[in-house]
Amino acid sequence: MKRIEDINRKIMDGGALVYTADEFKKMVREGERIRIKDVDVVTAATCAVMSGTAAILSIPVAERGAFERVEKLWLNGIPAFPGPCPNERVGIVDAIVYGTSRAGEYGGGHLFRDIVDGGKIEIEAEADGEMIRKEVTKEDIQFSRLFTTRSAFRNYSGFVNTREGAVETIFSVSGLKGPYREVSVSGCGEINPIENDPSMRTIDACSRILVNGAVGYVMGEGTRSSKERRNLSVFADMGGMQAKYMGGFVTSKGPECITSIAVPIPVIDDGVLANLRILDGEIGLPIADIHDRVAIEESDYGRVWGGNLEIYFDEKECTECDVCDVERLCPTGAFSMLDGMDVIRCFNCGACVDFCPGGAFKGNLGEVEIKGRGIPITLRQSNRKRASELSEELKGRIQDGTFLL
């Protein structure tokens, strides 16, 4: 066995053996013999649409004594919930903003990214029967902490529409078409943190992690967590976050929130090492009917992540449609006919592959078998490429001694 203290000492001395989950799984696939002495930490991560994301903000609205208390509040048009502290007559409002709150197709996730990116945030506050308007940036916001009620599910369900027509749902960009015409999936499979520690022997309350690139902590298990499908509740200050790991994702039922989480898995004994050996093809992916979200089939993540992690745009094959469905429907606004693809905003969800009639967008999203026939995956609500980047970033911080377990 190893102790966390011993691994931390090796980190401080610059001698810790650290691998990303991607690197570790590659070693497993290549048949390498990996023993406890060969690895100290494996960094695992996920980047996905995570509805259970919110933020607590403390915002200066006016001078002291200008108003008694704020009754209603909007940030870039997004409704916020003033309180719980009334901050009577101090000119400041504390507020909670949900990642799924919205103003049209602009949502809380977009707002969080704009704050982190240094954008100007328009504040509208109703106080003492009057409206107060002000512009702020992240430098003006005195306290900004993002938290999740549930995130980083060990695995999630894929969804299929078993009936005729299309169903508007948060699991589809343009409506999930049926019967059995397409599948929407979520989950980063073998690099997901809890998938690499399913019994949560090394992940617990106060575990130090990265949330959207900022140092954060696990609060414990989140809502709807179960022994079979655990998830985490986490928090971190927004000041250290990076915009590329977060944002908004517009579905056919409105905007959702993108959140990224990376967790170090300390290899303390053979049991932890054994769990780290699991690969995509061994991880179950229930396929549920979107109408009641009850599983009707069992697949695996090998069918999801066996192809491309990244979506490509081939400009030569663009037919320049009068109305570009990709530009109109891209859930992160990552493509325009004028500027092409923004690879930072691109979520690699693959919706564009299905939308483009000319086949200018390339990506193999895989398929799942339902009732004996292959059904194509047309949407991935997890960005495994970006999760791998965050996992690599965490590895780098551990190796240079700036991140201890």
Q: Which 3 state secondary structure label does DSSP give 351?
A: helix
Give the residue-averaged pLDDT of 34-44: 97
CA distances for 260 relative to 8, 147, 247, 312, angstroms:
24, 12, 10, 22
* Dihedral of alpha carbons 78, 148, 227, 45, sign: positive
The angle that helices 21-29 and 384-399 make with each other, rounded to 10 degrees, is 100
Structure confidence by residue, pLDDT tens digits, 237-246: 999 999 999 9
Q: What percent of the chain has pLDDT over 90?
A: 99
**Spatial separation of the C-alpha atoms in residues 207 and 166, rounded to whole Å:** 42
CA distances for 44 relative to 3, 208, 302, angstroms:
20, 13, 17
Give the residue-averaged pLDDT of 258-287: 97
Burial class of residue 238, CB neighbours in 10 A (0-12, 13-18, 19+): buried
Picking from 397, 25, 55, the residue whose alpha carbon sits closest to that of residue 213 is 397
Confidence of residue 180 (pLDDT cuts 50, 70, 90): very high
Give the residue-averaged pLDDT of 342-371: 96
Average pLDDT, the chain: 97
> What is residue 267's predicted lDDT score, i.e. its pLDDT?
98
Classify residue 239 by its DSSP letter: G
β-pair partners for 15: none
Give the residue-averaged pLDDT of 76-100: 96
**Spatial separation of the C-alpha atoms in residues 52 and 109, rounded to whole Å:** 11
> What is residue 376's predicted lDDT score, i.e. its pLDDT?
97
pLDDT over 90 (residue 308): no
Classify residue 51 by its DSSP letter: S
> What is residue 115's predicted lDDT score, i.e. its pLDDT?
98
Q: Which 3 state secondary structure label does DSSP give 266?
A: strand
Task: Dig out the tokens for 217 from the structure.
Answer: 């902590």
**Spatial separation of the C-alpha atoms in residues 146 and 353, rounded to whole Å:** 33
**Spatial separation of the C-alpha atoms in residues 396 and 232, rounded to whole Å:** 23
> What is residue 216's predicted lDDT score, i.e. its pLDDT?
98
Burial class of residue 289, CB neighbours in 10 A (0-12, 13-18, 19+): middle
- The one-letter code for the residue type at 346 is C
Structure confidence by residue, pLDDT tens digits, 135-173: 999 999 999 999 999 999 998 999 999 999 999 999 999
Structure confidence by residue, pLDDT tens digits, 228-268: 899 999 999 999 999 999 999 999 999 999 999 999 999 99
Dmax of the chain from CA atoms? 70
> What is residue 250's predicted lDDT score, i.e. its pLDDT?
98
For the chain, the C-alpha Rg in angstroms (whole number) is 22
**Spatial separation of the C-alpha atoms in residues 330 and 255, rounded to whole Å:** 12
Give the residue-averaged pLDDT of 96-102: 98
Confidence of residue 307 (pLDDT cuts 50, 70, 90): confident
Structure confidence by residue, pLDDT tens digits, 57-78: 999 999 999 999 999 999 999 9
Task: Dig out the tokens for 252 from the structure.
Answer: 């056919």
Query: Residues 202, 266: contact at Cβ < 8 Å?
Result: yes
Residues 6+ apart with CB under 8 A from 272: 197, 201, 202, 265, 266
